[in-house]
């Protein structure tokens, strides 16, 4: 019987489908090797202890938390961990003492730390208690935990953390289809500002309520772009993918989720000869990316930095949730 298990899960980079994915439309996402880890340890005493370095103001001591604690009353960096424990303990009638210790990079660049810590916690508990969960089940239980915390979520980031690689994702997880790729020639730029996804999703929801026909048409076009982009990626047609990215960016602009800093990075990239460039995620800040040829990669990196951004040098198509250590 394992006394402890350390698991980790990657972040994500949304390629196409932002905001439309919230309403069940498809998206394309790739896992980014920005890993969050969770160490699950059995305790002799019957209590739940959570320790996290991912808090805005990390505690110098572990927090003992009641299993039935209100998720709204615990620090945000711990709420996803506690929600995961609640979901799995209820589903599998677990009652043992448990300590979860999470860790990861101080800067996540908006690339999915919440989903990664949730999936890493699920994976660690899975191995610690020999639950033998499939990737689909790890996704499902993790997605439920995220919903318990946030109230609403599309789940594409959870899927990326659970499965890894590059995925076609639709219908709030009804369809998760891995793409078989050797490479994905992308350069990532960080705008320097971290934004909250929930407020931007609410902003688009308000626009959708005000202009339902327009937003519905925009989402339909995004859906079609995602379908064509999947074919382009499978064929390695990066020039076509770039055109589709630019079209998707135009639709995101119309939804009002771009920012001046992101736009500067996007256009700076385009001016030095990329196939295409767009923001990634909810918008308002965080990251953009460009699809480039090898001969233009360095020029794009320099253009992003000259425009005030930061080049994020992280491998794509990262491995999904995995076990890193057992003792």
The DSSP code sequence of 185-212 is -EEEEE-S----HHHHHHHHHHHHHHSH
Q: Which of 125, 185, 135, 181 is nearest to 161 (CA)?
A: 135
Element (H, E) at 154: none
CA-CA-CA-CA torsion sign (289, 294, 295, 297): positive
Do the beta carbons of residue 172 and residue 154 sit within 8 Å? yes
Whole-angstrom distance, CA of residue 162 vs CA of residue 131: 16
| DSSP for residue 93 | T
Cα three-residue angle 123-26-134, rounded to 5 degrees: 25
Q: Which of 306, 281, 219 is nearest to 11 (CA)?
A: 281
157 annotated active-site: yes
* Number of Cα atoms under 13 Å in the Cβ half of residue 175: 13
Give all strands (DSSP E) within the chain, no chain letters. 4-16, 27-43, 48-52, 63-65, 97-103, 166-170, 175-179, 186-190, 276-280, 287-291, 310-312, 322-326
Considering just the CA atoms, what is the radius of gyration of the chain in Å?
A: 20
Catalytic hit among 60, 157, 237, 325: 157
The DSSP code sequence of 48-79 is EEEEES-SSS--SS-EEE-TT--GGGS-HHHH
Q: What are the residue numbers of the active site?
A: 157
């Amino acid at each position: 019987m394992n006394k402890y298990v350390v698991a980790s899960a990657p972040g994500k980079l949304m390629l196409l489908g932002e905001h439309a994915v919230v309403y069940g439309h498809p998206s394309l996402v790739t896992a980014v090797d920005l890993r969050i880890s969770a160490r699950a340890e059995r305790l002799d005493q019957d209590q739940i202890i959570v320790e996290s370095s991912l808090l805005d103001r990390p505690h110098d001591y572990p927090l003992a938390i009641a299993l039935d604690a209100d998720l709204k009353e615990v620090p945000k960096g711990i709420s996803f961990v506690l929600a995961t424990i609640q979901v799995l303990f209820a589903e599998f009638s677990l009652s043992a003492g448990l300590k979860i210790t999470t860790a990861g990079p101080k800067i996540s660049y908006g690339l999915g730390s919440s989903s990664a810590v949730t999936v890493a916690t699920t994976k660690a508990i899975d191995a610690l208690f020999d639950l033998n969960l499939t990737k689909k089940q790890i996704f499902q239980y993790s997605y439920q935990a995220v919903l318990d915390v946030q109230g609403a979520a599309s789940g594409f980031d959870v899927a990326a953390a659970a499965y890894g690689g590059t995925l076609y994702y639709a219908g709030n997880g009804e369809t998760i289809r891995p793409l078989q790729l050797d490479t994905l020639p992308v350069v990532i730029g960080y705008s320097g500002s971290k934004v909250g996804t929930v407020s931007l999703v609410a902003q688009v929801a308000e626009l959708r309520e005000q202009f339902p026909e327009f937003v519905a048409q925009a989402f339909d076009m995004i859906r079609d772009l995602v379908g064509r982009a999947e074919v382009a990626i499978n064929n390695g047609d990066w020039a076509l993918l770039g055109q589709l990215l630019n079209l998707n960016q135009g639709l995101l602009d119309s939804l009002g989720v771009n920012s001046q800093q992101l736009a500067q990075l996007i256009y700076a990239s385009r001016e030095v000869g990329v196939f295409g460039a767009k923001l990634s995620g909810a918008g308002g800040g965080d990251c953009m990316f460009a699809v480039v040829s090898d001969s233009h990669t360095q020029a794009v990196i320099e253009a992003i930095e000259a425009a005030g951004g930061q080049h994020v040098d992280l491998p794509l198509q990262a491995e999904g949730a995995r076990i890193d250590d057992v003792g």
